[in-house]
Amino acid sequence: MNCLPDELLVQILSFLPTKEATSTSLLSKRWRTLFTLSPNLDFDNSLLLQSKKRKWNMRNIQKSFVGFVDSTLALQGGKGIKSFSLKFKETLGDVNGEVDVNRWICNALEHGVSELHLRIDYTKRCHLPSEIFTSTKLVKLSLVTQSCFPVVPNCISLPSLKVLFLDSIWFEVPQFLIFLTACPALEDLTIYQKPHSVGMPYHISSKTIKRLSVTYTCGYFVDYGLKLFNTPSVVDLYYSDYVRHKYPHMNLDSLPKATLDIHFLDDNAANVTELLSGIRNVKTLHLTSSTVKVSFSVWSLILSMVRNKKTFFMCVCVFQVILLCCKGEIPMFENLINLKFSGKTRQWKFLLPLLLEICPNLTTLVLSV
């Protein structure tokens, strides 16, 4: 490796966690400062806290980690930082965790960081620094946390942001709309909400988003009408959720590709008609196994209503989520060319014939068991 130029060695080091990259400084004089030239910084204290043998000395370990991050950032001097990744788990008795994290984030922003990836786990409710939302350099932003809440300033502006990933981050509805409006270059948005999340961004409105992935794993809010998908420029949609009572706004008329992962809660008010109508112009559609699977409690209810064979057949057909929750007429998918169908044989053998009837121009069918 001594034959390789410094530029290539620095490039290799940039793919390593900062702790490992720093350890190479012990190799020789040449390697002593190479790690400081890496434009990518990656810090993670979770591995330090996993060992049972170290729990008794957790406070000293945390203190050592804080010192390591501070000294590494100090070595950056006036050099710019391209990517800053921080995985931080606050420990019991660590009263300065929020202060330390916010200091590091602000330091990275002052160095013109373009990619900021944060996975923060606090023991109490804390706030992320508002400086995150006024950066003119950020291109990629990932926020993953359970108890952090962003303080969105009135002067919010993220003119360069193109990729946004939010995991269990809660905004007030007006704040989230303001947030998206302040991202005029946003192209890729991913939202993932866990069951115990405090709240959800119910209104997604943007004219620039091209790739949209939304996953809600909580079924307690199905009666909330989602004003989702006012996103006319989206070309690739992934939507995973429990069937809701209504979908009042679906601006997806030009959507070419969609994946639906829909779950059912045996709710008579669930209605998927507007959702299907909103994506009726897609050319490529993937229905996951959850979307077409059978609900056994509903099966018992339907069987009790059967009067003749014809009714029995129709009941079996609407047995699947996608049909059971259609309160109106199922729309025609005139533009659908590619259809991927996931599920066990007994789950899709009744639904598939009906889908083929509403997809007159289908040319490719993929059955995935």
How do residues 152-182 score in pLDDT, each as one tens digit?
777 889 999 999 999 887 776 677 888 889 9
Say if residue 294's pLDDT is above 60: no
User: Which residue, chain included where needed, has tokens 């001594």?
Assistant: 2
pLDDT recorded at residue 157: 93
Q: Is 83 in contact with 115 (CB distance < 8 Å)?
A: yes
Both tokens assigned to 132: 């995150």
Sign for the pseudo-dihedral over CA of 107, 109, 113, 118: positive
pLDDT grade for 238, boundaries at 50, 70 and 90: very high
Q: Is 119 in contact with 88 (CB distance < 8 Å)?
A: yes
User: What's the angle, vertex CA 47, arms to CA 45 and CA 48, rounded to 5?
Assistant: 65
How do residues 215-237 score in pLDDT, each as one tens digit?
887 766 666 656 667 888 999 99
How do residues 55-72 score in pLDDT, each as one tens digit?
556 677 778 888 888 988
**Which is more confidently placed, 334 or 168?**
334
What is the per-residue DSSP string for 270-282?
Answer: ---HHHHHHTTT-
The secondary element (H helix, E strand) that includes residue 366 is strand 364-368
Provide mean pLDDT across the span 318-338. 70
Q: How far is Cα 156 from Cα 183, in angstroms, rounded to an integer? A: 9
Say if residue 198's pLDDT is above 70: no
Q: How far is Cα 266 from Cα 300, in angstroms, rounded to an integer? A: 11
How do residues 2-54 score in pLDDT, each as one tens digit?
788 888 888 888 888 888 888 887 887 887 777 777 888 999 887 666 654 55
pLDDT recorded at residue 345: 55
Please give the DSSP secondary-structure letter assigned to residue 320: B
Both tokens assigned to 221: 């809010």
Cut 0.75: pTM above it: yes
Helix crossing, 309-317 with 296-303: angle to 10°? 160
